[in-house]
Structure 1
């Protein structure tokens, strides 16, 4: 859990490598959630990425 908190803290401070690490961990889930009717919806995918980045910033410490 300490590694998660450290990574989250760095991401919240704007550390690009920490944000990319978070994204690489959760990318499969984001991609799966962006599939509609058997095809990847690029607009939804981009919206989910923005929501993910916003969630990192708003996640309570």
Structure 2
């Protein structure tokens, strides 16, 4: 089983499967935060998803 750290490193190296695994792990949180008032706000979900991907790609992993 891969750790989040190893998945982040692989995703930063261009591994699309690693990015997909990370996204699937955090998808419930993104959905929860996009549905604050009982309804899913698709615009919010899309913004959070894009921001999540950018954060993964920019995250600095310390050895």
Q: Considering the TM-score relative to the shorter chain, is it more than 0.5?
A: yes
Secondary structure (helix, strand or coil) at the match of 1:40 reads coil
Report the Cα offset of residue 51 of structure 1.
0.3
Output the CA distance in 1 between the equivalents of 2:30 and 2:60: 21
Kindly report the root-mean-square deviation, in angstroms, between the aligned alpha carbons of the 2 structures.
1.3
- Count residues in correspondence: 60
Structure 1 counterpart of 2:48:
48
Q: State the TM-score, normalized to the length of structure 2.
A: 0.87
Flag structure 2 segments of 5+ consecutive residues without an equivalent: none
CA deviation after TM superposition for structure 1 residue 6, in Å? 1.4
Please give the alpha-carbon distance, in whole angstroms, between the structure 2 residues aligned to 1:24 and 1:59. Answer: 18
Runs of at least 5 residues in structure 1 that lack an aligned partner in the other structure: none
TM-score by length of 1: 0.89
